[in-house]
Chain A
Amino acid sequence: MMSKDAITVSNLTQAITLLLRDEIGIVRVTGEISGFTTAASGHRYFTIKDESAQIDCVMWASRTLAFRPKSGMQVVVQGRLTVYAIRGKYQIDCDRMTAAGQGDLYLAFAAMKENLAERGYFATERKREIPAFPLKIGVVTSPTGAVIQDILTTLKRRSPHCEVYLCPATVQGETAPEDIALAIAALQNTDADVLIVGRGGGSIEDLWAFNTEQVAEAIYHSRIPIISAVGHETDFTIADFVADLRAATPTAAAELVSQYDRETLWQQITAWENRLNRVVQLEMQNYDQRLNALINSYAFQNFGDRLHDRAQQLDEAEHNMQKALVRHLRQSTNKLESITAHLRSLHPLSPLQRGFALLCSGDRLLSNEDSLAEFDTVEIVRRSEIAQAKIEQVIDKE
């Protein structure tokens, strides 16, 4: 490095530049901001310092900054060490700057977000549909300022028939999370069809309330579908993730709930009425046809004939029954006669007609079981006379 010849300032500066860039490279430095200015170009210039040293910093407009730095703020910057040759100054070209301690806050925020995600607060399955024709619209926002005016103007222009329930809430500052949560809760007791919860755009700090668990809970537990409308296109808050639908701006939210203006609704109602009439008329014709078909059916028409048929069948049956009865009676009579004749032939006296005789002892008729040996005398009964007979000898035939 040491040279006998003098070198130019530019050469030296270039050497210093290379040295700083290659030997030190990217740094992370913590310190207190002082003299923070934003140029018209959007580039930011400031110094960070501690008790005994300071260093210049630049942060180009193209770098995003999540908060508004102020002098006296403790920050952590990250960037390359560069040289501003024109002034012979070295400085940090900051890529990122975070407020000191914001790291912890950010971690807590990330943890809370993850927790909510795990509990299903962001699940798309639980997103409810925003009613297409809401008539009552609940709004939670600041009662003053452009946001509520934007919403009311948009609704008035597109859907003047909609009633607005405005539940005012502070949307910035310490009380904002509770205020917003309570306003959402208060609207649960109304017949609102849909809620718009939002505020205008702002820095990430301004939107802080919409990143709190308290607001997330209130949105999650709302029985009424909620459209979140926080700030501008690029900012996504936790409220946006939990809400059933996210609108980029409050005006966009108002447009979402007034997709159909009065004229369209009027036409829609007419169309529905026509459809109702057509469908019912068609159905009635259908029923009429079916009824006619039933009335004209063979079964219905020939009911009388069928009745006659049955009557005739009944008569026939009756006649047959009578005939059967007479036949049966006659048969029975015949049978009775033959039995009587038979019975008559079995009468003990009937053999006398044919010349046989009976043996009796006293009143008793002797049967084959009686032995004549037991009797001295028996009566011989014939048709027209009775004889007393003395038994002299009995010969056993067997």
Chain B
Amino acid sequence: MQRLEEIVEILDDGEVALDEMLSLYEEGMKRSQYCREYLEKAEQKVTLIQSQNS
């Protein structure tokens, strides 16, 4: 989501070349799709990480 926000801000600022703009747009849309999917199937998941001591 952070990256998505970043992309929106870069594009909002303008000053990007056409091909860069298009690839950013594509990336942004992909990411927003990913975020939506992520949120949709959201169910708290707890993973146990073992440290050296345990």
Contact = CB atoms under 8 A, between A and B. Distances in A.
Nearest to B4: A272
Interface string A259-289: 0001001101100110110011001000100
Interface stretch (A58-66, A185-193, A355-363, A376-384): A185-193
B32 A273 contact: yes
Interface string B22-54: 100100110010011011001111111111111
A160 B42 CA distance: 6
> What interface size band does chain B fall in?
20 to 34
A276 B29 contact: yes
21 contacts: A132-B1, A156-B44, A161-B42, A163-B45, A167-B48, A167-B49, A169-B54, A182-B53, A190-B49, A262-B39, A269-B4, A273-B29, A275-B8, A276-B8, A276-B11, A276-B28, A276-B29, A280-B22, A283-B11, A283-B14, A287-B18
Given A272-B4, A273-B29, A276-B8, A168 B48 contact: yes
Nearest to A133: B1
Contacts of A185: 51-52
Nearest to B5: A272
A165 interface: yes
State the main secondary structure of chain A at its contact with B: helix
Given A152-B46, A262-B39, A265-B35, A275 B14 contact: no
B2 to A, nearest CB: 6
B7 A276 contact: yes
A96 B21 CA distance: 68
A269 B52 contact: no
A164 B52 CA distance: 19
Given A160-B42, A178-B53, A133 B48 contact: no
Given A160-B44, A275-B11, 10 more contacts: A131-B2, A161-B39, A166-B47, A182-B52, A183-B53, A186-B49, A187-B49, A262-B39, A262-B42, A269-B36
A284 to B, nearest CB: 9
A346 to B, nearest CB: 81
A164 B44 contact: yes
